[in-house]
């Protein structure tokens, strides 16, 4: 049996398993929390974080919403946009956010 065939066989115990529903939910919550950290940044700090135009617009919208319910819905939208990013993009955002927060902590 070729390796290609093994990946396609759902009954093969050695084939990679998809993440559990609980793991997917933990990942989604972590991305939404990351989005919440982005919303707390100042405009100057936000410019240092590599964000797509639609994600940046969503963050800026959330910053302008004072109502709790509407803000929560906007944070969920930001989380959804972040789930569309690949691991490399989210890693870059996390690294930039850590740098921005480190700079703020030093001053």
Tens digits of residue pLDDT in 1-16? 454 544 555 667 777 8
Percent of the chain with pLDDT over 90: 70
Domain ranges, ordered by start, for the chain:
41-107
Can you tell me the distance from the alpha carbon of 72 to that of 106, in angstroms, rounded to the nearest whole number?
A: 30
Report the predicted TM-score, pTM, of the whole model to 2 decimal places: 0.77
Give the burial class of 63: count Cβ atoms within 10 A of its Cβ; 0-12 exposed, 13-18 middle, 19 or more buried.
Answer: middle
Could you list the beta-strand ranges (E) of 1-107. Answer: none
**41-107 architecture in CATH?**
Orthogonal Bundle (1.10)
Instruction: Indicate if the pLDDT at residue 66 is higher than 80.
Output: yes
pLDDT at 1: 47
pLDDT at 100: 87
């Amino acid at each position: 049996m070729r390796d290609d065939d093994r990946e396609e066989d759902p009954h093969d115990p050695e084939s990679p398993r998809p993440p559990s529903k609980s793991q997917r939910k933990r990942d989604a919550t972590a991305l939404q929390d990351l989005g919440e950290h982005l919303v707390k940044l100042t405009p100057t700090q936000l410019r240092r974080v590599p964000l797509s135009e639609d994600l940046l617009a969503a963050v800026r919208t959330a910053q302008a919403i004072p109502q709790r319910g509407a803000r929560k819905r906007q944070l969920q939208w930001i989380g959804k946009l972040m789930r569309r990013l690949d691991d490399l993009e989210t890693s870059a955002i996390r690294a930039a956010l850590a740098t921005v927060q480190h700079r703020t902590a030093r001053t």
